[in-house]
Amino acid sequence: MLVIINFKTYKEATGNNAVKLAKSFSKFRNVIVCAQASDIANTSNLLTTFAQHIDPVDVGMNTGSITAFAIKSAGARGTLLNHSEYRLSFEELKSCLSLAKKYKLRTVICAKDSEEVKRFAKLKPDFIAIEPKELIGGKISVTMASPWLITKSLKAAGRIPLLCGAGVHSKEDLLTAKKLGAKGVLIASAIIKNKNPAKKLKELLQ
């Protein structure tokens, strides 16, 4: 079961804190962290790191942009795309996927519903993550509130492995996701905001 931990821009997961978290998570298998661009070089030395986003532009005169080449050079192995907090148009996603493939980066596209899952599957990312926006950061997980959505999204994804996120916070959530057919989960606040993130992760993975 793959676990992707999104550091977002939490203070607890920025700079030296990001390094400390990455080090504490490095003993676990099948764990990927999504770090801020400024922290990728440091976290990627400890465990598999994805960027939280890339822009649909390549190297050149693009001041302020986060390029696939830049995150690859920093040590990232992939990138998250289209998170509900940083949505992209379909055309932008197509460009980002093309650039990610050019630089041999794995891709996770977030979708808000099964219709988007079906549409994004045509772009052939490495993973699609179903994340209903209204459940993100909450105490009720998608596995509890909408198990039918995971089942429906699995059919829509076809051969693309499906991940699920939004409100995931317990071992039961991971077990349910696995039973439903998901290949992994996306987690953020449930771990990052915990008083002992590594202990919480261990509990989830047991």
Sign of CA dihedral 203, 106, 129, 182: negative
DSSP E strands in 55-161: the ranges are 78-81, 106-111, 127-130
pLDDT tier for residue 12 given thresholds of 50, 70 and 90: very high
Give the whole-angstrom CA distance, residue 159 versus residue 127. Answer: 10
pTM (2 d.p.): 0.94
**Who's near 104: CB < 8 A, 6+ residues apart?**
72
142 to 168, 170, 172, 195: CA distances (angstroms) = 7, 12, 12, 23
- Do residues 120 and 94 make contact, with C-beta atoms less than 8 angstroms apart? no
d(CA 91, CA 20) in angstroms, rounded, equals 37
- Please write the tens of the pLDDT for every residue from 122-181: 999 999 999 877 656 666 677 777 788 889 999 999 999 999 987 777 888 888 888 999
Instruction: Kindly list the catalytic residues.
Output: 83, 131
Look at the chain and report how many structural domains it folds into.
1
Host domain of residue 132: 2-205
Nearest to 71 by CA among 84, 59, 85: 59
Tens of pLDDT, residue by residue over 45-94, are 999 999 999 999 999 999 999 999 999 999 999 999 999 999 999 999 99
Instruction: Please state, in angstroms and rounded to a whole number, the distance separating the CA atoms of residues 188 and 205.
Output: 15
Closest C-alpha among 154, 152, 182 to residue 168: 182
What CATH code is carried by the domain that includes residue 101? 3.20.20.70
